Structure 1
Amino acid sequence: MDTQVLLMHLLSGLSLSGAGNLNRFVAVDTPMTMTNARQYCRSNHVDLASLRDAQDLQQLHDMRSNSTRWIGLNDDPATSMQTIDVYTNSWKWSFEYASGYLNFKSGEPDFKNDEEVCVWMDSDGSWRNQECSSLRHFLCFSGSPSKPDYHLVFEMKTWEDARDHCRFWFVDLAVIKSQKENDHAKSKFWLLFVQLSSNAWIGLYREPWAWQDGSLSEFRHWVPGQPNNMGGNAMCVKLVPDGFICTDCRDVYPFFCTRALKQTILKITISSDLDLTDPNVQDNILQQFGATLTNAGKTDFHLSWSVPPKRKPEPAAAADEEVCDPSSSALMSSALEISVKTTFNQSQQN
Structure 2
Amino acid sequence: MDTQVLLMHLLSGLSLSGAGNLNRFVAVDTPMTMADARQYCRSNHLDLASLGDARDLQQLRDMRSGSARWIGLSDDPATSMQTLDVYTNSWKWSFEYASEYLNFESGEPDFKTDEEVCVRMNSDGSWRDQECSSLSHFLCFSGSPSKPDYHLVREAKTWEDARDHCRFWFVDLAVIGSQEDKDHAKSKFYFLFAQLSSNAWIGLYREPWAWQDGRLSEFRHWAPGQPNNMGGNAMCVKLVPDGFICTDCSDVYPFFCSRALKQTILKIKISSDLDLTDPNVQDNILQQFGATLTNAGKTDFHLSWSVPPNNQPESAAAAVEEVCDPSSSALTSSALEISVKTTFNQSRQN
Output the TM-score relative to the length of structure 2: 0.74
Structure 1 position 299, deviation (Å): 4.3
Quote the residue 2:240 is aligned against: 240
**Structure 1: unaligned runs, 5 residues or longer:** 1-5, 275-284, 309-331
The SS at the match of 2:237 is strand
Q: CA deviation at 1:11?
A: 11
Secondary structure of the structure 2 residue equivalent to 1:66? coil
CA gap 1:149/1:336 in 2 versus in 1, 3 angstroms: farther
Residues 198, 338 of structure 1: CA spacing in aligned structure 2 closer, same or farther, 3 A cutoff?
farther
- Secondary structure of 2:231's aligned partner: coil
SS at match of 1:231: helix
Q: Contact conserved, 1:152 with 1:188, CA < 8 A, in 2?
A: no
1:166 aligns with 2:169: no
Distance 2:147 2:289 in 1: 45
Q: 1:339 to 1:297 in 2, by over 3 A?
A: closer
Alignment of 1:1-350 (within 5 A): 13=10, 17=16, 20-145=20-145, 148-263=148-263, 272=277, 298-301=298-301, 343-344=323-324, 345-348=343-346, 350=350
Question: Matched residues in 2 for 1:59 and 1:263: separation?
Answer: 21
Q: How large is the RMSD of aligned CA atoms in angstroms?
A: 4.1
Residue 37 of structure 1 aligns to a residue whose secondary structure is helix
- Aligned counterparts of 1:157 and 1:102: Cα–Cα separation in 2: 24
Where does structure 1 differ by over 6 angstroms across 4 or more consecutive aligned residues?
8-12, 265-268, 285-296, 302-308, 335-341
**Alpha-carbon distance change, 251 to 307 in structure 1, aligned in 2, over 3 angstroms:** farther
Q: 1:113 to 1:286 in 2, by over 3 A?
A: farther
Supply the distance in 2 between the matched residues of 1:59 and 1:193 (Cα, whole angstroms). 53
Contact 1:119 1:203 in 2 (8 A): yes
Listed one character per residue, the Cα deviations across residues 302-324 of structure 1 (whole Å, up to 9, x for unaligned) are 6799999xxxxxxxxxxxxxxxx
Deviations 1:73-126 (A, max 9, x none): 112312221212322221122233332221212222122232221101111221
Q: What is the CA-CA distance between 1:246 and the residue it aligns to?
A: 1.2
Shift of 1:295: 7.5
| Alpha-carbon separation, structure 2, partners of 1:193 and 1:266 | 69
Contact 1:263 1:343 in 2 (8 A): no
CA contact (8 A) 1:266 1:340 kept: no
Alpha-carbon distance in 2 for matches of 1:287, 1:307: 17
> Equivalent residue for 1:318?
none
SS in 2 for 1:107: coil
- What is the identity, as a one-letter code, of the residue corresponding to 2:16? S
CA positional deviation for 1:160: 1.9
Partner of 2:332: none
Asked whether the equivalents of residues 16 and 296 of structure 2 are also in contact (C-alpha less than 8 Å), the reply is no
Moved more, 134-143 or 26-35: 134-143
Give the 3-state SS of the residue equivalent to 1:30 in structure 2: strand
Unaligned runs of 5+ in 2: 270-274, 280-284, 325-342
Given that residues 286 and 318 in structure 2 are in contact (C-alpha distance below 8 angstroms), is that contact kept between their aligned partners in structure 1? no
The 1:17/1:233 distance shift into structure 2, 3 A limit, reads same
Distance of 1:218 and 1:40 partners within structure 2: 25
- Report the identity percentage: 81
Confirm or deny: 8 A CA contact 2:303 2:318 kept in the other structure: no
| Distance in 1 between residues matched to 2:291 and 2:112, nearest whole Å | 47
Over residues 148-195 of structure 1, what are the superposed CA-to-partner deviations in whole Å (9 max), with x where a residue is unaligned?
A: 443322211111221232333344322332223333444553342143
Please give the TM-score of this superposition, normalised by the length of structure 1: 0.74
Aligned partner letter, 1:347: N
What is the CA–CA distance in structure 2 between the aligned matches of 1:242 and 1:290, rounded to whole Å? 35
How far apart are 1:346 and its partner, in Å? 2.8
Aligned to 2:328: none
SS class of match (2:164)? helix
Checking the alignment, whether the CA contact within 8 Å between 2:124 and 2:190 is kept in structure 1 is no
Specify the SS of the correspondent of 2:262: coil
The letter of the residue matching 1:30 is: T
